[in-house]
Amino acid sequence: HLHPDHVCGLVDENGEAVYPNAELRASEGDADFWLDEERSQALPEEERAFFTMAQEAVAPYQEAGRFSPFAPGDELLMGIVARDTHGHTPGHASFMLNSGDDAMLVWGDVVHSYGVQFADPSVAIEFDSDPEQAVHTREAVLERAVDEKHWVAGAHMPFPGIGHIVEDEEGYRWLPIEFAPIARDSE
């Protein structure tokens, strides 16, 4: 999604693309909302910051013809399918990565505060565009992650950010993947 904590690293201090050869993708819902100059200008100045930052981050990629929105269900690369998880933003998307029998959902900001929202998924945050929908989405995604037992990766999850979700008497629980340094052959 196009919130500052996810897109502001796309440009340098001069507004130039940090990744000039990259194809930048965002959901149609987020692109239509955050990149809408008329919508941004209709807001009081103190509420425009997220719009301005998104527009400035995407601009050099648009100008270079390297920005293209996607729709839920689109396969962005082989085995990577966009899923609609709106609520946090109008077009918030997650990505299901499939490889043989293995799958991992990269859920972005479905969960922000796992310590709070795993115990009570009905807790929304101030930055949710549609708090009621964000809660509905979170509840559905958590339930599906438990049922399907696939891996989950989240932007606001504890290191290493990849794990499984299980249900327990207090709601949900995070089971992180075991982390170990890469073993190197000694020479």
Q: Report the pLDDT value the prediction gives residue 150, as an integer from 0 to 100.
A: 95
Domains of the chain with bracketed CATH: 4-70 (no CATH), 75-176 (3.60.15.10)
Q: Which own/partner pairs from 123-132 qualify as long-range (CB within 8 Å, at least 24 positions apart)?
A: 127/3, 127/88, 128/87, 128/88, 129/33, 129/87, 129/88, 129/89, 129/90, 130/86, 130/87, 130/90, 131/87, 132/87
Burial class (CB in 10 A: 0-12, 13-18, 19+), 104: middle
- Whether the pTM exceeds 0.75: the reply is yes
Q: Report the pLDDT value the prediction gives residue 186, as an integer from 0 to 100.
A: 60
pLDDT band at 18 (very low <50, low <70, confident <90, very high): very high
**Mean pLDDT score of the chain, rounded to an integer?**
93
Q: Report the pLDDT value the prediction gives residue 44, as an integer from 0 to 100.
A: 87
